[in-house]
Amino acid sequence: MYAVIKTGGKQYKVAAGEKIKIEQIAADVGQEITIGEVLAVGSGSELTVGTPLVSGASVVATVLAQGRHDKVRIFKMRRRKHYQKRQGHRQNYTEIQISAVNA
């Protein structure tokens, strides 16, 4: 059984036992969280799509780690204008393990 969830402005297809990195949420390591924004639930060839959410569906997950992604380097330049700009960014993430998909 799998589900499509929405968290942090993004959508993820998840199934029980998977580990995913999502946008940072305020939760402690080892804490169990419930994600209620389930857009679709499927099992085999059967698919239930919500309008916009599937009523009564939820995904239970455990927080494994809080961390930061690798640095993304941004470089802007205008040729012949003596303009160069360098910038870096590291996005925070929360790594979770999906325990159960409840339809």
Q: Tell which residue, 25, 26, 20, 24, has the closest CA to residue 4.
A: 20
- Specify the pLDDT at position 101: 95
Total-model pTM: 0.85
What would the mean pLDDT of 77-88 be, rounded to a whole number?
98
- Specify the pLDDT at position 103: 85
Q: Name the percent of the chain in helix, strand, coil, to the closest 5.
A: 0, 65, 35
Instruction: Kindly report the backbone phi and psi dihedral angles of residue 60, in degrees, each rounded to the nearest multiple of 5, phi listed first.
Output: -105, 130
Handedness of CA 57, 60, 66, 71 (dihedral sign): negative
Token pair 């940072």 is at which residue? 24
Burial class (CB in 10 A: 0-12, 13-18, 19+), 14: buried
CB neighbours of 45 closer than 8 A, spacing ≥ 6? Answer: none
H helices of the chain, where?
Answer: none
26-64, pLDDT tens digit by residue?
999 999 999 999 999 999 899 999 999 999 999 999 999
